[in-house]
């Protein structure tokens, strides 16, 4: 428990204070102190360094599979991080324009080569490893599940800066059952997936209100 708290300085201070009070016989204060450990917010899992960062969301095995969806998520994440003062970002429009105009060249480039081209020092990379849609025949509804692997890569060395222990952070989005459009298109489902994936990726990097049912890291252990 104590080792988990150390990664969040404010929680660490409160926890140490509570332990000191306990040693001093102040048991009546323990409940009040630990109530403050859960303030209804989830901390950032990682805070990027203040260096130029490239954001890229794609399906590395099937680059054209998510196409426009990946571009929308890339733009949404950049906008959200900028709103939360993580604003040392490479202009996503330049990257997306280069990909659109030089698709064959782009697909041959490594992640580091792309980062060097745009003078990035780090890359927020999200690789969509699965995207499944269930739309029963004859039904006017559909639901989908998407899983992406997210990491921060050092653009100079290629090493993963975060997460160091697991290699990638797995982010999964599962939609509710949603109606199809009148023409049978999946636009409502795609919109949900884009918005939710963008939010879940962005929130890895800044403090945010807990979603309903979300527990603190300490309670997960």
* Residues 44-62 pLDDT 10s: 999 999 999 999 999 998 8
Give the pLDDT band of residue 135 (cuts 50, 70, 90). confident
The domain 53-205 is placed in CATH, from the list 3.40.50.10610, 3.40.50.2020, 2.60.40.10, 3.20.20.140, at 3.40.50.10610
Percent of the chain with pLDDT over 90: 63
Interior/surface letters 20-55, b for 16+ CB within 10 angstroms, e for the rest: ebeeeeeeeeeeebeeebeeeebbbebebeeeebbb
* The pTM of the whole model exceeds 0.85: no
Give the pLDDT band of residue 215 (cuts 50, 70, 90). very low
Do residues 124 and 56 lie in contact, with contact meaning Cβ atoms separated by under 8 Å? yes
Q: What is the pLDDT of residues 190-206, one digit of tens each?
A: 999 999 999 999 999 99
The span from the CA of 180 to the CA of 186, in Å, is 6
Give the pLDDT of residue 8: 53
DSSP letters, 9-27, are HHHHHHHHHHHHHHHTT-G
Closest residue by Cα to residue 143 from 171, 185, 174: 174
Domain ranges of the chain: 2-43+214-220, 53-205
Q: What is the pLDDT of residues 145-178, one digit of tens each?
A: 999 999 999 999 999 999 988 789 999 999 999 9
Number of C-beta neighbours around residue 56 at 10 A? 24
pLDDT of 221 higher than 60? no
Structure-block tokens of residue 24: 């001093």
Give the pLDDT band of residue 82 (cuts 50, 70, 90). very high
DSSP letters, 137-175, are TT-SEEEEEEEEEEEEEETTT--EEE-TTTSSEEEEEE-
Give the pLDDT of residue 40: 87
Q: What is the pLDDT of residues 92-103, one digit of tens each?
A: 999 999 999 998
């Amino acid at each position: 428990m104590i080792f988990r708290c150390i990664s969040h300085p404010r929680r660490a201070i409160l926890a140490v204070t509570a332990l000191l009070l306990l040693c001093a016989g102040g048991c009546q204060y323990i409940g009040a102190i630990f109530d403050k450990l859960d303030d209804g917010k989830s901390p950032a899992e990682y805070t990027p360094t203040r260096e130029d960062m490239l954001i890229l969301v794609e399906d590395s095995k099937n680059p054209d599979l998510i196409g426009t969806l990946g571009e929308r998520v890339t733009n949404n994440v950049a906008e959200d991080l900028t709103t939360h003062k993580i604003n040392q970002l490479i202009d996503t429009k330049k990257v997306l324009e280069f990909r659109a105009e030089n698709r064959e060249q782009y697909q041959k480039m490594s992640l580091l080569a792309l980062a060097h081209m745009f003078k990035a020092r780090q890359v927020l990379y999200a690789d969509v490893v699965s995207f499944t849609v269930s739309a029963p025949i004859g039904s006017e509804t559909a639901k989908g599940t998407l899983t992406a692997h997210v990491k921060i890569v050092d653009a100079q060395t290629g090493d993963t800066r975060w997460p160091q222990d697991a290699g990638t952070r797995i982010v999964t989005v599962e939609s509710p059952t949603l109606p199809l459009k009148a023409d049978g298109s999946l636009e409502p489902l795609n919109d949900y997936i884009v918005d939710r994936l963008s939010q879940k990726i962005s929130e890895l990097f800044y403090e945010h209100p807990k979603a309903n049912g979300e527990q603190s890291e300490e309670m997960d252990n």
